[in-house]
Structure 1
Amino acid sequence: MSDKKHTRRDFVKKSAAVTAGLYWAASARSYGNILGANDRINCAAVGVHGRGKALIRSLATAKNSALTAVCDVDKREFDLAGKLVQETFGSSAANAVTNYVDFRKLLENKDVDAILIATPEHWHAPMSLMGVQAGKHVYVEKPCSHNPREGELLVEAQQKYKRVIQMGNQQRSAPTSIQAVADIGAGLIGDVYYGKAWYANNRKSIGVGKSVAVPDWLDWDLWQGPAPREGYKDNYVHYNWHWFWNWGTGEINNNGTHEIDICRWALGVEFPKSVISSGGRFHFKDDWQFYDTQNVNYEFEGGKMITWEGRSCNGFKQHERGRGVTLHGTKGTILLDRNGYKVYDNEGKLIKDVKEKGESATLNTVGGGFLTDLHMQNFVNAVRQGERQNSPIRDGHITNLLCHLGNISQKVGRKLMLDTDNGRILRDRGARKYWSRDYAPGWEMKV
C-alpha cells in the first residue's frame, strides 16, 4: 500500500474517532455514577446574566433533565432567571429552584448532579475542578481555561474523578459539521492541508473606567473569586471583563475558539509545532488590554496549517459571513459555518450545498439555538447513559491551548516553538511564564 493511501486510511479512521469523541482518555462507562435510563439529571446554572440564560433554555429541551438551582453574584439576576425558568420549565419547576450567591454553598447540595458554568472566564477552570471534586458533572462554557496550565489540570481532574466535563464548543454537535468532517475523511476535497478561520464584529469602545463604589447588587469579592484582587471600576461588569488579562482571555478565546476548533477537527491535528501572532489594539484608545485585530498562524507536522483572523471592531464579512472557516484540499474547498457548508472544486464550481436543520446565533453576546440544544442533550446523555461526548475536555483543552498560545506569542512578540506531544513551549523562558497565573490566596487549583 502506498504511503498516500495509508495516510488517507488513517485519516478516515481518525476523523471517525474524533466525530465519536474517542480521543477522550477515559471511557464514559468508567463514571462512578452513571444514572439509569429513566433518572432525571438535576442541574444548577452558575452565572446567568448572559450566556447562562441560553444554557437554561437549552437544558429545557434536553430530555430527562431539570434545573433545580441558580447561582449568581448579581442579586438582580434571581428574579430574571426565575421568570425564564417559569417560561421554559413551568411554574412548578420555578418554585423548586434554589438560589445561591456563593458557589461553594451550591456544591454542598447533594441533589445537584451537574453544574452549567457560564461565569466570567477566570472562574471556568477553578469552578469546574471544584465541581468534579464535589461529585458533580460539568458543562463549562468556552474557554475551559484562563491559561494553559488550567486546561491541563482539568484533563487530569476528569481522569481522576471520573465525571463528565464538556466544553461549550457547540458546533461539535452540529450534524452538518459532523457530515462535513466525514466528507473530508472520505476524500471529497482530497488531502486537506489548510484551514482558515475568522471572526468579525463591530464592538464599540469600552472607554476609560472610573473607580466607583461597588454596586449594592454585586458581591465583588466573590465575582473576582480565584483572581488577584483589583478595585472596582464602572466598565468591568458585566461584559467588558473579556478584554482584561486578569479575568478574560481576549477575542481569540472568546470567539476564535469555535472556528479554530472546527479547523483542527477537520484537519485531524492536535498540538502544533509552532505558532506566531501579529496584531494589536488599533481601533480605539481605551482600557481594552487585548487585541481587536489579530492574525495567528499555526503550523503542524505533516504539512498542515491553520490561520485565525480576528477583527473585533471591524465587521467586514468574509464570504458574506461574520464568522466561519474554509478548509482547503488538493481537490477543492469547503466553506463551513454553524448553519451548514458548501463544497467547491478547484475551479470554484459549487458541487455540494448542505444546510443545517435549525438556526443558531452567530455574533450576539448570548448565543443559543439549535446547536446549543444538541450539545446540551449530548452532555445530559453522557451523564445519564454514558453516551460518547462530542466535546470531551481533552479536545476542549487542546483547542483552547492553541488560543492561549496565540495570545502568548502576541504578548512576547515572537514565534513560539512547541512540543508536539503536549503543546508546551520550548526554549523560551519569557513565554513560559504565561503558562499559568497567580491566584488569590486560598484559591489555587489542586487536583
Structure 2
Amino acid sequence: MSYARTAANDRITLGFIGLGMMGRGHLGAFLGYQDCQVVALADVVKERLEDSANRVNTQYKSDSANGVATYADYREIIARDDIDAVVIATPDHWHAIPVIQAANAGKDIYCEKPLTQNVVEGRKIVEACTKNKTVFQVGSQQRSEFGGRFRRAVELVRNGRVGKIHTVRIGVGAPNKPCDLPAQEVPEGTDWDFWLGPAPQRPYNEVLCPKGIHSHFPQWRAYREYAGGAVADMGAHHFDIAQWALGMDHTGPVKVEPPKDGSKNGLKLTYANGVEMYHGGPADVTFEGTEGTLMVSRGSIKSNPGSILEEEIGDDEFHVYPSNNHKRNFVDCVKSRKETICPAEIGHRTASICHLTNLGYQLGRPLNWDPKKEQFVRDKEANGYLWRKPRDKWDVI
C-alpha cells in the first residue's frame, strides 16, 4: 500500500532491499527523518542483514523481538501491505525485477542508479510506474546535491550563457567487460544463487559479492553480466546532467560511433540537432558552445571566459526543479504525490545512453538509434542486445 492511501500525518513506512555500501548509506539518511520509519530489511548476506537490523533497532530503541523485520528474500517486503515505499540498492542486474514488482504492489520507490542493465528493462519500469502512479526517484543525486554546481551549470547552458552548444564531453571511465573471475568457495551466510538472480549462472567470487560487511564499492560494476562498467556507474550521473542541460530528458542521441582504432575512450554520440557528445573529457561534464566552455565536476565549476559564471539568471528565464536533498525530495513527493526530480522516464533515458555507449564499444562499429522507437535502425544484431532474458526462475517481468 502506498502512502497515498495512508493518513496524512502518518510516518512513511520503508523497506530496504540491498544493504551493501549504498544501501547502508541510504539507511543512515532515512533513519534521520522523523516522518519515516524503517520497518523491514532484506539482503542475501546474513551478516549485513543482522548488522543493519542492529543499527535500526538501536536508533529506534527497540529490541530484536519487537524491532525491524529481516528477510533473506526481498519479496516478503513487497508482499507486506503495511509498507509504503521501498529503497532498492542492489547491484544493477537486480533493479528491474524488484522495481516492477514493488510498483505493481502499490509501493513508491527510491532506486539506485543506473536504473537498468538494458533498454527493454527500462521501458518496462516506466510502464509499470506509469500504470501504478508510482512516486519514483532514481538516485542520480547530482540533480539535487554537490553544492548546486551541476544545477548552476544546467541553468547557464539552458539559458544560452555558453552560446549554442555543439560539443559535450563526459569524463567517465571504461565500458563494461565479460566476467572472467576464478571460482571461490561461497562464504557461510551468503545466498549466492539469489545474488545472481536473473544473471547467468557462474561460480562465486568475492570481487562480485564481498564477504560480510565491506567498506568499498564492489567491482561487480565492471562486468557485463551485472552492470555497465564505469560508463554506467558514473555515466548515470554525468550523462544525466548532459541530458538535462541539453533539454533531452525524454529522448536521446541518434547515432553511436566508437573509435576506429578500437580504443575504449572517445566514442561519439550524436543528437538529431547535431550536438556531439564524447565519452571522455577533462571534467565530469564539459559543455562547449559558441560563446565559451563550461566545465563542471562534483568539487568545482569553471568557465572560459570566466565571465560566464558571473551571469545572473533572471526570474523569467529557465530555472531547474528546486531540490537540494535527493532523498528528502523523494519523501516530500511521496507525501504530495508530485513528480520527483529524477523520475523513471528520465532515469531510463540516461541509463539508455550508458547502454548505447557500451554496445558501441562491444560491437565496434557505428550504430543508428531511433530514440522514439527505442530500437537500432535496421540492425538485427544490435537490437538483440536491448534485452537479456533472465534465468528461467527469474523470467517474471
TM-score (norm 1): 0.76
Q: CA deviation at 1:194?
A: 2.0
Determine whether 1:442 maps to 2:393.
yes
CA offsets 1:100-120 (integer angstroms, 9 cap, x no match)? 110111212222111111111
Name the SS of the counterpart of 1:388 in structure 2. coil
Q: CA deviation at 1:412?
A: 1.1
Determine whether 1:341 maps to 2:301.
yes
Is the 8 Å Cα contact of residues 85 and 93 (structure 1) preserved in structure 2? no
* 190 and 440 in structure 1: CA distance in 2 versus 1, 3 angstrom threshold: same
Is the 8 Å Cα contact of residues 37 and 385 (structure 1) preserved in structure 2? no
Determine whether 1:418 maps to 2:369.
yes
User: Separation in 1 of the partners of 2:166 and 2:228?
Assistant: 28
Is the 8 Å Cα contact of residues 43 and 67 (structure 1) preserved in structure 2? yes
2:27 to 23, 44, 56: 56
User: Separation in 1 of the partners of 2:62 and 2:275?
Assistant: 54
Name the SS of the counterpart of 2:268 in structure 1. strand
Query: What amino acid does structure 1 have at the position aligned with 2:167?
Result: Y
The aligned residue for residue 20 of structure 1 is: none
User: Separation in 2 of the partners of 1:412 and 1:156?
Assistant: 29
Determine whether 1:122 maps to 2:93.
yes
Is the 8 Å Cα contact of residues 135 and 337 (structure 2) preserved in structure 1? no
Is the 8 Å Cα contact of residues 15 and 86 (structure 2) preserved in structure 1? yes
Determine whether 1:250 maps to 2:222.
no
CA offsets 1:105-149 (integer angstroms, 9 cap, x no match)? 121222211111111111101110111112211111111111111
The aligned residue for residue 165 of structure 2 is: 192
Q: CA deviation at 1:308?
A: 1.9
Q: CA deviation at 1:213?
A: 2.9
User: Separation in 1 of the partners of 2:274 and 2:72?
Assistant: 50
* 194 and 36 in structure 1: CA distance in 2 versus 1, 3 angstrom threshold: farther
Determine whether 1:233 maps to 2:221.
no
Q: CA deviation at 1:98?
A: 1.1
CA offsets 1:231-258 (integer angstroms, 9 cap, x no match)? 3234432323222322222211111221
The aligned residue for residue 328 of structure 1 is: 288
User: Separation in 1 of the partners of 2:15 and 2:273?
Assistant: 43
The aligned residue for residue 173 of structure 1 is: 144
The aligned residue for residue 309 of structure 2 is: 352
Is the 8 Å Cα contact of residues 158 and 247 (structure 2) preserved in structure 1? no
Query: What amino acid does structure 2 have at the position aligned with 1:199?
Result: V
* 353 and 230 in structure 1: CA distance in 2 versus 1, 3 angstrom threshold: farther
Is the 8 Å Cα contact of residues 168 and 288 (structure 2) preserved in structure 1? yes
Unaligned runs of 5+ in 2: 211-217, 312-322
Determine whether 1:141 maps to 2:112.
yes
Q: CA deviation at 1:278?
A: 4.1
Query: What amino acid does structure 2 have at the position aligned with 1:229?
Result: Q
Q: CA deviation at 1:207?
A: 11
Query: What amino acid does structure 2 have at the position aligned with 1:47?
Result: G
Query: What amino acid does structure 1 have at the position aligned with 2:303?
Result: V
Name the SS of the counterpart of 1:128 in structure 2. helix
User: Separation in 2 of the partners of 1:123 and 1:280?
Assistant: 34
User: Separation in 2 of the partners of 1:81 and 1:51?
Assistant: 12
Q: CA deviation at 1:49?
A: 1.7
Query: What amino acid does structure 1 have at the position aligned with 2:131?
Result: K
Is the 8 Å Cα contact of residues 190 and 332 (structure 1) preserved in structure 2? yes
User: Separation in 1 of the partners of 2:184 and 2:308?
Assistant: 58
1:112 to 83, 106, 110: 83
The aligned residue for residue 273 of structure 1 is: 254
Is the 8 Å Cα contact of residues 273 and 420 (structure 1) preserved in structure 2? yes
* 40 and 402 in structure 1: CA distance in 2 versus 1, 3 angstrom threshold: same
The aligned residue for residue 269 of structure 2 is: 298
Determine whether 1:217 maps to 2:198.
no
Determine whether 1:71 maps to 2:22.
no
User: Separation in 2 of the partners of 1:145 and 1:207?
Assistant: 18
* 1:25-40 → structure 2 map (5 Å cutoff): 33=4, 37-40=8-11
Is the 8 Å Cα contact of residues 254 and 370 (structure 2) preserved in structure 1? yes
Is the 8 Å Cα contact of residues 36 and 384 (structure 1) preserved in structure 2? no
Q: Which moved more, 1:428-437 or 1:170-179?
A: 170-179
User: Separation in 1 of the partners of 2:208 and 2:261?
Assistant: 20
The aligned residue for residue 261 of structure 1 is: 240
Query: What amino acid does structure 1 have at the position aligned with 2:158?
Result: G
Query: What amino acid does structure 1 have at the position aligned with 2:41?
Result: V
The aligned residue for residue 379 of structure 1 is: 330
Is the 8 Å Cα contact of residues 227 and 247 (structure 1) preserved in structure 2? yes
Q: CA deviation at 1:180?
A: 2.7
Query: What amino acid does structure 2 have at the position aligned with 1:211?
Result: A
User: Separation in 2 of the partners of 1:353 and 1:260?
Assistant: 25
Name the SS of the counterpart of 2:121 in structure 1. helix
Q: CA deviation at 1:419?
A: 1.0
Unaligned runs of 5+ in 1: 1-30, 283-292, 311-317, 355-371
User: Separation in 2 of the partners of 1:207 and 1:410?
Assistant: 16
* 218 and 280 in structure 1: CA distance in 2 versus 1, 3 angstrom threshold: farther
Name the SS of the counterpart of 2:26 in structure 1. helix
Name the SS of the counterpart of 1:227 in structure 2. coil
Is the 8 Å Cα contact of residues 3 and 334 (structure 2) preserved in structure 1? no
Is the 8 Å Cα contact of residues 3 and 85 (structure 2) preserved in structure 1? no
User: Separation in 2 of the partners of 1:223 and 1:176?
Assistant: 36
Q: CA deviation at 1:394?
A: 0.3
- Identity among equivalent pairs (%): 30
